[in-house]
Amino acid sequence: MDDLIADFVSECRDMLENLGGEIVAWEAQPGDRARLDSIFRFVHTVKGNCGFFDFPRLEALSHAAEDSLADVRAGRRQPDPRLVSAVLAVIDRIGELVEVIAAGEPLPQGDDTDLIEALKPGSEAPAAPAPVPASPVSAAFGAAAPRTIRLSVDLLDRMMSGVSDLVLARNELARRLRDQGADVTVDSAFERLSGIIAEMRDAITRTRMQRIESLFVGLPRMVRDLSAELGRQVLVDIDGGDVELDREMIEMIRDPLTHIVRNAVDHGIELPADRLKAGKREIGLLSVSARQSGNQILIDIVDDGRGIDGRRLVEKALAAGIIDGSDAARLSAKDQLQLIFEAGLSTASAVTNVSGRGVGMDVVRSNVERIGGVVEVESRSGHGTRMTLRVPLTLTIIPALTVSIGAQHFAMPRAAIEEIVRAGGDSVQLSRLGGAGVVTIRGRRVPEIVLAEVLGLDSPLEHADRTLIVLKPAGGDVYALAVDRVHDHEELVVKPAAPAVMATGLYAGTTLADDGSPILLFDPAGLARVGGVKVEAQERSVRLLEEAAAAVKQESTPVLLFRDMAGARRAIRLGVVDRIEEVPGTAVSMGAGRLRVQLGEAILPVTGLSAAPEPHEKVRLFRLSDGETQLGLAFREVIDLDAIAGDLVPADCPGPVEGVTLIAGEPAELVDAHWLFAAEAGLRPTGDRPPVCRLDERDPWVRNMLRPIVEGAGYRVVGLEAEERADLMIARGSETTDLDAAPKEDGRVLWLSQSPDTPANENRIYRYDRAGLLVALRDAAAAGGAAR
Amino acid sequence: MNELLLVVRIAGQRVAIPAVRVESVVELDTLIPVPRAANHIAGLSALRSRVLTVVCCRRSLMLSWKDRTGEVLEAAVTELDGHHYALIVDGVEDVLEALSDPTPVRAAMGEGWERVSTGMVETEEGALLMVDVAALIAGPEATRIAA
> Mind listing the pLDDT tens digit for each residue in A595-625?
888 877 778 888 777 777 777 777 888 888 7
- Largest Cα–Cα separation, chain A: 132
Cβ distance A694 to A719 under 8 Å?
yes
Residue-averaged pLDDT of chain A: 76
Please state, in angstroms and rounded to a whole number, the distance separating the CA atoms of residues A393 and A700: 67
pLDDT in the model for residue A138: 41
Kindly report the length of chain B. 147
Strands B83-89 and B73-80: antiparallel
Cβ-defined contact of B51 to A408 (cutoff 8 Å): no
Provide the sign of the torsion angle of the four alpha carbons A333, A337, A338, A339, taken in this order. Answer: positive
Give B-chain residues touching A532 at CB under 8 angstroms. Answer: none
> Mind listing the pLDDT tens digit for each residue in A197-234?
888 888 887 777 788 888 888 888 888 888 888 888 88
* pLDDT tier at A557, thresholds 50, 70, 90: low
Cβ distance A336 to A378 under 8 Å?
no
Chain B nearest C-alpha distance from A500 (Å): 7
Cβ-defined contact of A456 to B35 (cutoff 8 Å): yes
State the amino acid at position A206 in one-letter form: R
Give B-chain residues touching A165 at CB under 8 angstroms. Answer: 49
State the amino acid at position A22 in one-letter form: E
Cβ-defined contact of A500 to B137 (cutoff 8 Å): yes
Chain B nearest C-alpha distance from A511 (Å): 7
Cβ-defined contact of B49 to A518 (cutoff 8 Å): no
> Mind listing the pLDDT tens digit for each residue in A467-491?
889 887 755 678 889 999 888 887 7
Cβ-defined contact of A456 to B34 (cutoff 8 Å): no
CB nearest B37 (choices: A501, A517, A519): A501
Give A-chain residues touching B30 at CB under 8 angstroms. Answer: 517-518
Chain B nearest C-alpha distance from A515 (Å): 10
Provide the sign of the torsion angle of the four alpha carbons A716, A721, A724, A725, taken in this order. Answer: positive
Give A-chain residues touching B81 at CB under 8 angstroms. Answer: 499
Give A-chain residues touching B45 at CB under 8 angstroms. Answer: 518
Is A286 near chain B, with CB under 8 Å? no
Please state, in angstroms and rounded to a whole number, the distance separating the CA atoms of residues A609 and A593: 14
Give B-chain residues touching A503 at CB under 8 angstroms. Answer: 37-38
Residues 6+ apart with CB under 8 A from A549: A555, A556
Give B-chain residues touching A496 at CB under 8 angstroms. Answer: 82-83
Residues 6+ apart with CB under 8 A from A533: A447, A449, A477, A479
Residue-averaged pLDDT of chain B: 83
> Mind listing the pLDDT tens digit for each residue in B71-126?
778 899 998 887 889 998 888 888 888 888 888 888 888 888 888 888 888 888 88
Give A-chain residues touching B82 at CB under 8 angstroms. Answer: 496
Strands A657-663 and A649-650: antiparallel
Cβ-defined contact of A511 to B51 (cutoff 8 Å): yes
Chain centre to alpha carbon of residue A489: 27
In the DSSP assignment, the letter for residue A268 is I
Closest-approach residue (CA) in chain B for A501: B37
pLDDT in the model for residue A552: 38
The Cα-based distances of A250 to A212, A395, A496, A522, A747 in angstroms read 7, 11, 17, 24, 78
Domain count, chain B: 1
Which residue, among A225, A291, A219, has the nearest Cα to A258 in the 3D structure? Answer: A219
Is A166 near chain B, with CB under 8 Å? no
Order of all β-strands in the sheet with A637-643: A637-643, A558-563, A569-573, A666-671, A657-663, A649-650
Q: Backbone phi, then psi, for A279, in 5-degree steps? A: 80, 25
Phi/psi zone of residue B62: left (φ > 0), alpha (ψ -120 to 50 degrees), beta? left
Is A503 near chain B, with CB under 8 Å? yes
State the amino acid at position A73 in one-letter form: R
Decide: helix, strand or coil at residue B138.
Answer: helix
Cβ-defined contact of A164 to B49 (cutoff 8 Å): yes
Cβ distance A14 to A30 under 8 Å?
no
Is A518 near chain B, with CB under 8 Å? yes
State the amino acid at position A466 in one-letter form: R
pLDDT in the model for residue A196: 92
CA B98, B102, B105 angle in degrees (round to 5)?
Answer: 130
Q: Backbone phi, then psi, for A494, in 5-degree steps? A: -95, 135
The lowest-confidence range among A314-323, A397-406, B12-21 is A314-323
pLDDT in the model for residue B85: 92
> Mind listing the pLDDT tens digit for each residue in A23-49?
767 777 777 777 777 777 777 777 777
Chain B nearest C-alpha distance from A248 (Å): 15
- Which residues make beta-bridge pairs with A256? none
pLDDT, mean of residues A136-142: 41
- 3-state SS string over A677-739? HHHHCCCCCCCCCCCEEEECCCCHHHHHHHHHHHHHCCCEEECCCCCCCCCEEEEECCCCCCC
Please state, in angstroms and rounded to a whole number, the distance separating the CA atoms of residues A701 and A678: 19
More confident site: A563 or A25: A563
Is A522 near chain B, with CB under 8 Å? no
pLDDT in the model for residue B53: 92
Residue B144 pLDDT greater than 60, yes or no: no
Cβ distance A97 to A91 under 8 Å?
no
Order of all β-strands in the sheet with A485-493: A485-493, A397-405, A408-413, A518-522, A507-512
CB nearest B38 (choices: A457, A500, A506): A500
More confident site: B28 or A372: B28
Cβ distance A483 to A438 under 8 Å?
no
Chain A nearest C-alpha distance from B18 (Å): 21
* pLDDT tier at A554, thresholds 50, 70, 90: very low
**Which residues form the domain of B91?**
4-146
Cβ-defined contact of B55 to A506 (cutoff 8 Å): no
Mutation target to probe the B interface, by most B beta carbons within 10 A, among A395, A501, A530 is: A501
Please state, in angstroms and rounded to a whole number, the distance separating the CA atoms of residues A690 and A711: 10
Closest-approach residue (CA) in chain B for A165: B49
Cβ-defined contact of B44 to A504 (cutoff 8 Å): no
- 3-state SS string over A732-770? ECCCCCCCCCCCCCCCCEEEEECCCCCCCECCEEECCCH
**What secondary structure does DSSP assign to A491-553, as a single string?**
EEE-BPPPHHHHTTSSEEEEEE-TTS-EEEEE-HHHHHHHTT--TTHHHHHHHHHHHHHHH-G
Is A634 near chain B, with CB under 8 Å? no
Closest-approach residue (CA) in chain A for B40: A500
Chain A nearest C-alpha distance from B95 (Å): 28
Decide: helix, strand or coil at residue B135.
Answer: helix
Please state, in angstroms and rounded to a whole number, the distance separating the CA atoms of residues A545 and A538: 11
Phi/psi zone of residue A103: left (φ > 0), alpha (ψ -120 to 50 degrees), beta? alpha
What is the helix, strand, coil percentage profile of chain B, to 5? 20, 50, 35
Is A407 near chain B, with CB under 8 Å? no
Strands A749-753 and A728-732: parallel
* pLDDT tier at A384, thresholds 50, 70, 90: confident
The lowest-confidence range among A526-530, A709-713, A742-746 is A742-746
State the amino acid at position A6 in one-letter form: A
Which residue, among A698, A647, A697, A709, has the nearest Cα to A672 in the 3D structure? Answer: A709
Is A516 near chain B, with CB under 8 Å? yes
Q: What is the CATH number of the domain that holds B131?
A: 2.40.50.180
Cβ-defined contact of B32 to A495 (cutoff 8 Å): no
Interface contacts A/B by beta carbons within 8 Å: 72
> Mind listing the pLDDT tens digit for each residue in A519-532?
898 888 788 888 87
Cβ-defined contact of A517 to B32 (cutoff 8 Å): yes
Q: Backbone phi, then psi, for A190, in 5-degree steps? A: -65, -40
Residue A137 pLDDT greater than 60, yes or no: no
pLDDT in the model for residue A43: 79
pTM above 0.95, yes or no: no
Strands A649-650 and A408-413: unpaired
Q: Backbone phi, then psi, for A504, in 5-degree steps? A: -70, -20
Q: Which residues of B touch A (CB under 8 A)?
A: 30, 32-38, 40-41, 44-46, 49, 51-53, 55, 81-83, 85, 137-139, 142
Cβ-defined contact of B37 to A512 (cutoff 8 Å): no
Residue A626 pLDDT greater than 70, yes or no: yes
Cβ-defined contact of A510 to B44 (cutoff 8 Å): yes
